[in-house]
């Protein structure tokens, strides 16, 4: 268990630049008449890939990221 905790904590100490592969952030496109503000961000953690909808404001983005982090701690979904 010690090695797992070291792997999980190391990026926090060394910063995002230490991630391998590097962190990639892309726009998650809404389809049709969908409103991006209605969706949470999604991730592919194995490749450090964050998909962010084109939110209407920084405040909406902060709220949605915070909500996804809180609510997704015990969930695993493929996207």
- 27's tokens: 């726009």
Which of 46, 58, 74, 78 is an active site residue? 46
Residue 1 lies in a domain: no
Quote the domain boundaries for residue 27: 20-79
- Whether 46 is catalytic is yes
Beta-carbon neighbour count of residue 53 at 10 Å? 21
CATH code where residue 59 lies? 3.30.2410.10
Bigger pLDDT: 45 vs 57: 57
**Overall number of domains in the chain:** 1
Which pLDDT tens digit goes with each residue over 2-31? 444 444 555 566 777 788 888 899 999 888
Residue 61 lies in a domain: yes
Residue carrying structure tokens 């904590």:
9
Average pLDDT, the chain: 80
User: At 78, is the pLDDT very low, low, confident or very high (cuts 50, 70, 90)?
Assistant: low
Query: Is residue 63 a contact partner of residue 38, using CB atoms and an 8 Å limit?
Result: no
Q: How far apart are CA 65 and CA 63, in angstroms?
A: 6
- As a residue count, the chain comes to 79
Q: 0.85 exceeded by the pTM?
A: no
pLDDT of 73 > 50? The answer is yes
């Amino acid at each position: 268990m010690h090695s797992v905790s070291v792997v999980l904590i190391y990026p926090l100490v060394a910063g995002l630049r230490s991630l391998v592969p590097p962190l990639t952030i892309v726009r998650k496109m809404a389809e049709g008449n969908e409103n991006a503000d209605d969706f949470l961000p999604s991730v592919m953690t194995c490749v450090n890939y964050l998909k962010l909808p084109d939110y209407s404001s920084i405040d909406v983005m902060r709220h949605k990221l915070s909500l996804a982090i809180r609510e997704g701690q015990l969930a695993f979904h493929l996207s």
